């Protein structure tokens, strides 16, 4: 059973949902609907949706809205995706980036284990389209693990995104219940290999607190990520999307986030975002600016 969120966190959630007001939120939602684009803000029921939409930004979800895996922390629909990637999606996404006047765009996807390359070629198409139509925009990709296929990762790297993100999400002990279908060692290998292929590439990862992890396990994850050469890390509070998802084990206090931020900086991370409403893509340009 989920524990009740503390009053201070509920107030932060209310503020994030309100953002700058309904009018601004509606404008962004209407634009995305008109262009037929999906966002992780909606699909994953992100608590920061109102804040992001009201500032005319969003994290785009490509490759459809049905995931082939069933992570118990995630609200994105799980099932059997229908059809190949939409060939018109990259151009519509570029149009949205232009109309929203974005200078930093974050793009993620559902996991598509049904595709031979995991959707890597579609990612590359999106990056190249943005480079052509929106020159100067910083492109941050939050990618799945592509089942460890290095050719798929290389396809993405060759498109030259500015930031490559892959989240470990939680500690390895909890993968069997929280991240079924994923593999902690495979995720670390992806981050390490990407850095070896392109040493100048900014790499990023993130994980959640509140799923049942221990302090020692958190230290281990930070150390493992640092060993891959990861430049940036995000640490946020897990919030259960529904009663059908993994329950919240605990709510970390603000001082714990400050402690882990300092611990990560001591390990050599160049940028650390740590707080209850921190998400991998939330205010991504701000944290990228710390090392750009």
Instruction: Compute the distance between CA of residue 183 and CA of residue 1 in angstroms, rounded to an integer.
Output: 26
pTM of the model: 0.95
The pair of structure tokens assigned to 66 is 């049905």
Residue 43 has a pLDDT of: 87
Q: Which residue has the tokens 């059908």?
A: 244
Is residue 51 predicted with pLDDT exceeding 80? yes
The predicted-structure confidence for 61-112, as pLDDT tens digits, reads as follows 999 999 999 899 998 999 999 889 999 999 999 999 999 999 999 999 999 9
Answer positive or negative: Cα dihedral of 196, 197, 202, 205: negative
Cα(225)–Cα(255) distance, integer angstroms: 22
pLDDT-based confidence at 292, cuts 50/70/90? low
Q: Give the pLDDT score at 2.
A: 73
* Mean pLDDT, rounded, for 150-169: 98
Which residue is associated with the tokens 């049942």?
212
Residues 164 and 204: their CA atoms lie apart, in Å, by 6
- What is the per-residue pLDDT across 188-202, written as a single tens digit (0 to 9) for each? 999 999 999 999 999
- pLDDT band, very low/low/confident/very high, at 287 (cuts 50, 70, 90): confident
Domain architecture of the chain: domains with CATH: 7-288 (3.20.20.70)
**Is residue 44 within 8 Å of residue 245, measured between CB atoms?**
no
* C-alpha–C-alpha distance, residues 155 and 151, integer Å: 6
């Amino acid at each position: 059973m989920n524990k009740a969120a503390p009053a201070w966190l509920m107030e932060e959630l209310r503020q994030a949902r309100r953002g700058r007001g309904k009018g601004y939120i509606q404008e962004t939602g209407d634009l995305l609907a008109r262009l037929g684009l999906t966002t992780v803000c909606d699909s994953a029921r992100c608590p920061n949706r109102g804040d992001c939409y009201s500032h005319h930004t969003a994290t785009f979800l490509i490759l459809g809205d049905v995931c082939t895996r069933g992570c118990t922390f995630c609200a994105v629909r799980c099932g059997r995706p229908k059809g190949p990637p939409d060939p018109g999606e990259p151009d519509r996404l570029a149009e949205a980036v232009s109309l929203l006047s974005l200078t930093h765009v974050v793009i993620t996807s559902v996991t598509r284990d049904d595709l031979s390359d995991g959707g890597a070629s579609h990612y590359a198409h999106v990056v190249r389209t943005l480079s052509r139509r929106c020159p100067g925009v910083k492109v941050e990709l939050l990618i799945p693990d592509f089942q460890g296929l290095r050719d798929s990762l290389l396809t993405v790297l060759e498109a030259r995104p500015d930031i490559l993100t892959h989240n470990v999400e939680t500690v390895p002990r909890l993968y069997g219940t929280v991240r079924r279908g994923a593999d902690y060692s495979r995720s670390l290998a992806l981050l390490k290999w990407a850095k070896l292929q392109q040493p100048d590439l900014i790499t990023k990862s993130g994980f959640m607190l509140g799923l049942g992890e221990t302090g020692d396990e958190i230290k281990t994850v930070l150390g493992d990520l640092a060993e891959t050469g990861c430049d940036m890390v995000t640490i946020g509070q897990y919030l259960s999307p529904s009663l059908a998802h993994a329950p919240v084990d605990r709510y970390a206090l603000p001082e714990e986030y400050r402690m882990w931020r300092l611990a990560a900086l001591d390990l050599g991370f160049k940028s650390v975002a740590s707080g209850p409403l921190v998400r991998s893509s939330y205010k991504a340009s701000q944290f990228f600016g710390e090392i750009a």
